Amino acid sequence: MKKTLVAYFSATGTTKAAAQRLAKETGADLFEIAPAVPYTAADLDWRDKQSRSTKEMQDRSSRPAIKGSCPNIADYDTVWIGFPIWWYTAPTIVNTFIEAHDLSGKVLNVFATSGGSGVGGSASDLKKAYPQYTWGESRLMN
């Protein structure tokens, strides 16, 4: 039986709501990509060059720690990966999730929320970073 997972990172709750809608639409299970150290409002201040999110996004090798992993990832053949778009791409915590799981043999789809950016650049960046995986559709879900 084919199973779908919606794995999402949500800093403010917007992406969580989108993930819940997508899971309901597709009959998928949900998994939150939760940071080991939660982001504060100050961490998310993109105007502050010293904020945590700014520093992570300036260092493309940054891999913020996540709370645990999806223990039954092998059970899924389709995985939707969702996030808010930061600096026109996926937050580096998404890379942490991808690199912490064996996603071979699965179709990976991307969904994102954004106040102004499209999802195409984010999806393209992930496809380039992880060409070993099979990538499917991309959706902007505001």
Residue for token pair 């929320």: 113
Residue 28 lies in domain: 4-140
The bridge status of strand 4-8 relative to strand 78-84 is parallel
Q: Provide the residue-wise pLDDT of the chain in tens; the chain has 142 residues.
A: 689 999 999 988 999 999 999 999 999 999 999 999 999 999 999 889 999 999 999 998 999 999 989 989 999 999 999 999 999 999 999 999 999 999 999 999 999 999 888 898 999 999 999 999 999 999 999 8
Spatial distance between the Cα atoms of 62 and 21, rounded to a whole number of angstroms: 30
What tokens does 100 get?
């912490």
CATH of the domain at 95: 3.40.50.360
Our count of domains for the chain comes to 1
Residue for token pair 């899924």: 76
| 4-8 sheet: strands from edge to edge | 29-32, 4-8, 78-84, 107-113, 134-140
